[in-house]
């Protein structure tokens, strides 16, 4: 059984690669880049083949991650949709931000789309997964995309923002999406930036009694 944490661990082992991703996340959403890093991290894993594939749903084209049997490419093992946000996006309940449930609704919409998609009908035994990548910073970066200078945090510490974001992702989002968190882990990208990843997975009914999922990893302090 593979884990996504093992496919992303190189971001901590290779400081330049992690810092590059952190710098990109200052100005743009980086979910596609993180999916590409998963493919890079799994490049030597035997038995599976990972690819980014376009998926068109209701006229909207998304680039999703597919994991297939390397010996039988028509056998889809797992389909992963991904979103990225910042820790301040999913901790709005503690700093009185507007629309606090935005990402709970958004992830739930993705999971519902997967459950009713033609892909599920075509591959009923495939695992359906939604990933949420949360960028957390202890200090503001110049011209960052969201909440410049972190004025929204007021007297709240970076730790309080991280903890509120974690609680929201592990509880609110999981409950709203009706899925379990198969993995959650934190990787340090640079001195002030961490990538906290959550994978919400639905196990096919045919495999529910025999499938094992990765143990949830306690989030590392940042």
> What is the residue extent of each domain of the chain?
4-207
Q: Which of 105-109, 110-114, 200-204: highest mean pLDDT? A: 105-109
pLDDT, average across residues 178-192: 96
For residue range 40-66, what is the model confidence (pLDDT) as tens digits?
999 999 999 999 987 655 555 567 999
Strand partners, 141: none
pTM (predicted TM-score): 0.89
């Amino acid at each position: 059984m593979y884990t996504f944490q093992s496919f992303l661990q190189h971001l901590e082992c290779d400081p330049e690669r992690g810092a590059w991703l952190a710098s990109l996340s200052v100005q743009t959403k980086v979910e596609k880049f993180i999916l590409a890093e998963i493919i890079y991290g799994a490049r030597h894993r035997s038995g599976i083949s990972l690819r980014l594939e376009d998926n068109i749903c209701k006229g909207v084209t998304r680039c999703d991650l597919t994991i297939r049997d390397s010996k039988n490419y028509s056998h889809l093992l797992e389909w992963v949709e991904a979103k990225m946000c910042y820790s301040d996006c999913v901790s709005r309940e503690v700093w009185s931000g507007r629309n606090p449930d935005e990402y709970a609704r958004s992830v739930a919409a993705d999971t519902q789309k997967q459950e009713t998609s033609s892909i599920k009908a075509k591959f009923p035994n495939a695992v359906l997964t939604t990933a949420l990548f949360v960028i957390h910073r202890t200090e503001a970066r110049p011209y960052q995309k969201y909440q410049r200078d972190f004025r929204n945090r007021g007297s709240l510490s970076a730790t309080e923002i991280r903890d509120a974001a974690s609680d929201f992702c592990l509880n609110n989002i999981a409950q709203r999406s009706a899925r379990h968190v198969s993995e959650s882990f934190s990787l340090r990208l640079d001195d002030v930036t961490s990538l906290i990843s959550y994978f919400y997975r639905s196990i096919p009914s045919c495999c529910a009694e025999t499938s094992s999922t990765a143990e949830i990893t306690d989030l590392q302090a940042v």
